Amino acid sequence: MPHILVVDDESNIRKVVREYAEFEGYEVSEADNGMEAVALCQENDYDLIIMDVMMPRLDGYSACKEIHKTKNIPVIMLSARGEEYDKLFGFEIGVDDYVVKPFSPKELMARVKVVLKRGTHREDPLAPDKFQFEGLEVDISGREVYVNGEKASMTPKEYDLLFFLVKNKNIALSRDRLLEEVWGYDFFGDDRTVDTHIKMLRNSLGEYRKFIVTLRGMGYKFEAL
């Protein structure tokens, strides 16, 4: 049974999310601020976190960054603000999804299912999971990337994006395909989500950014021998 941590300073929102999540068969724990969420994640393992942005003591973004220092737990962020800047900032720090308040609990549960399904997806056991392209080493099963022998520090979404590109090397991938496969669904057709993460990923890869080729008007391709 997946275990979800719901973090929000509004008790009514926690109550609604808990009711719908438990109806879907999930185990639910609660926290009413970011500090409590960080402490709970240090003591327990969760399959998913649903976290509000604006909270007392420690905001959702800061809590997410603290949690991701030690745990790779998917996060769906809740916020009353829906500006593009806020969403992109969330994606940059490793948020998996972003839901604007007021939200439909049914839609939230649908997004929860997508994120959880992506996290438990089993790879083909016969497929290779370690790749090397010059000084770039990609270990998919170990979720590690080395650039000229030094371990790269990337967000969870950067890892997911790179792994998908590498597993489909030399194949042209549209932005819509990347949204569907890496994020799990279409972010309302917002191609800039992909472009932002590609830019971040290229910065993380340094000189080996050359392997990620832009296909004008279409998408991207990991081009290597």
pLDDT at 126: 46
- How many residues in total does the chain contain? 225
Residue 102: count other Cβ atoms within 10 Å of its Cβ: 7
Backbone angles phi, psi at 7, to 5 degrees: -120, 115
Domains in the chain (CATH in brackets) are 3-120 (3.40.50.2300), 130-222 (1.10.10.10)
Taking the chain (225 residues) in consecutive chunks of 10 residues, what is each chunk's mean pLDDT? 94 96 95 95 94 90 90 88 72 83 91 79 56 94 92 90 94 88 62 88 96 94 92
Q: And the tokens for 111? A: 């997004």
The pTM score is 0.59
- Contact between residue 111 and residue 125 where contact means Cβ atoms under 8 Å apart: no
pLDDT at 145: 95
CB within 8 A of 66, min separation 6: which ones? Answer: 34, 38, 58
Residue 195: count other Cβ atoms within 10 Å of its Cβ: 14
Q: Which of 45, 15, 47 is closest to 30 using CA atoms?
A: 15
pLDDT at 193: 83
pLDDT at 121: 45
